[in-house]
Homo-oligomer: A and B are copies of this chain.
Amino acid sequence: MNVSTDAKFSKRTDKIKRSPIRELLKLITKPEIISFAGGIPDPTLFPAYLIEEATKSILRNEPEKVLQYGPTEGDLRLKSELVSRLAKKDNIKINEDEILILTASQQGLDLIGKILIDSGDTVIVGLPSYLGGLGAFSSYGANFIGIPLDDDGMRVDIIEEKLKKLKKEEIKRVKFIYVIPDFQNPAGVTLSLERRKKLVEIAEHYDILILEDTPYRELRYWKKSIPPIFTLAPRGRVMALFTFSKIFCPGMRLGYVIGSEPVIDRIVLVKQSTDLCTPPFTQGILREMLKGGALDEHVKKLVSVYRDKREFMLNVLNKYMLPLNLPDLKWTRPDGGLFLWMTLPLYMDAERMLPRALEKKIAYVKGCAFHYDNSGKNTIRLNFSYPTMDAIEEGIRRLSQVIAEEKRK
């Protein structure tokens, strides 16, 4: 008998879409392609030597610990380092039972989806929003309410409007608001302090949790930082996700989540059957990097390089895009992070345009991938951390040609 594999797959996975970013990244491994696609750190900046030293240190001093199974909650000494660092950097005051080490923050999105979402529950998300979040929540059967963004981030007033229209039973099924407050992925905009406060107010009023996902917070190039939503809300209202993919390296898959003890406890429960524990080996390396302050020094370097790249991309955008004379062509000016967000004239379609961009050996992510409802056809996400300055100039020049060819005569 033939294996009827297709008939056996779970219904939940029939709905999952392939990540267009990850599929695109496979296509663009050729070195001649200039990629604005991934949310990828500059590979020339990886602190390889420091990692070698840190690895040597843990392998010589504690091989029996870092090569063994570890607690699901994460390495206690690493958690303590992070607790102090959070207090110092952002005045976030938690204890070691309110933090859990993750196999990068994508795992946090998955596990939070798993502990909170029953099929048919609702999550409030940005339009656009990080597609890895949308994918993780979808895989547990989430429905979405989409909230547009402007230059000050998510339109919190629209969240309130939408909630007002829901019935009591429907509100009960709104499990959380997913927000990326700092230099949002993909839009690059930052949620203002006023809106952060208002968001907390709404979440309190309707008793809805907030998931604050902040992978880029330390990569700020302009203006003063705004307090995390976590610090503006009463205990237990906010779960916050952090990753080391952008400020250290993605190749170790390290991140963490902070939240109330019941939430952390429930995540521990599901993490046990998901991967038992985040690798103690890589946790040990990270702990070494944090201990001596080496990671903080490294972040300073990243900020300085990425600040220049951002500035440079904004300059070449002016240089090549303004002559196109398209008044509806706009882009954001992010205060930090890795991306800026381009809006094309409404009649253009970034998905249809992509094959021609790839022909010209440039890549971007179509903006509709970040919209759960597949809207945003005329938007594009552009990454500036990965390409070199030369590649940024040449890539934007080519992109301007691609857009010029789309222009209505």
Could you list which residues of chain A lie within 8 angstroms of chain B, going by C-beta atoms? 1-13, 16, 18-19, 22, 25-26, 38, 40-41, 43-44, 46, 48-49, 51-52, 55-56, 59-60, 63-72, 103-104, 106-107, 109-110, 114-118, 121, 132, 135-136, 138-140, 172, 175, 204-205, 207, 209, 234-237, 245, 249-253, 260, 262-263, 266, 269-270, 272-282
Is the pair B272, A13 in contact by a Cβ cutoff of 8 Å? Answer: no
Could you tell me the distance between the alpha carbons of A1 and B273 in the complex, rounded to whole angstroms?
33
Q: For chain A, what secondary structure do more than half of its interface residues adopt (helix, strand, loop), or is it mixed?
A: helix
Report chain B residues within 8 Å CB of A66. 251
Residue of B nearest to A64 (CB): B43
Nearest 6 CB-CB pairs, A to B?
A43-B64, A48-B63, A135-B273, A3-B236, A67-B251, A67-B249
Contacts of A136 in B (CB 8 A): 273-274
> Is B22 a contact of A72 with CB atoms below 8 Å?
yes
A to B CB contacts below 8 Å, 30 in the list: A3-B209, A3-B237, A8-B209, A10-B114, A13-B114, A16-B273, A19-B272, A40-B69, A46-B68, A48-B59, A48-B67, A51-B59, A52-B59, A52-B60, A65-B251, A67-B250, A68-B250, A69-B245, A70-B251, A104-B275, A107-B275, A114-B139, A135-B272, A136-B273, A139-B270, A139-B273, A251-B280, A251-B281, A253-B275, A279-B282
Given A13-B270, A48-B59, 15 other A-B contacts at CB below 8 A? Answer: A5-B260, A10-B115, A10-B116, A12-B118, A51-B67, A52-B60, A67-B249, A68-B249, A69-B245, A69-B251, A103-B103, A110-B275, A251-B281, A253-B278, A274-B274
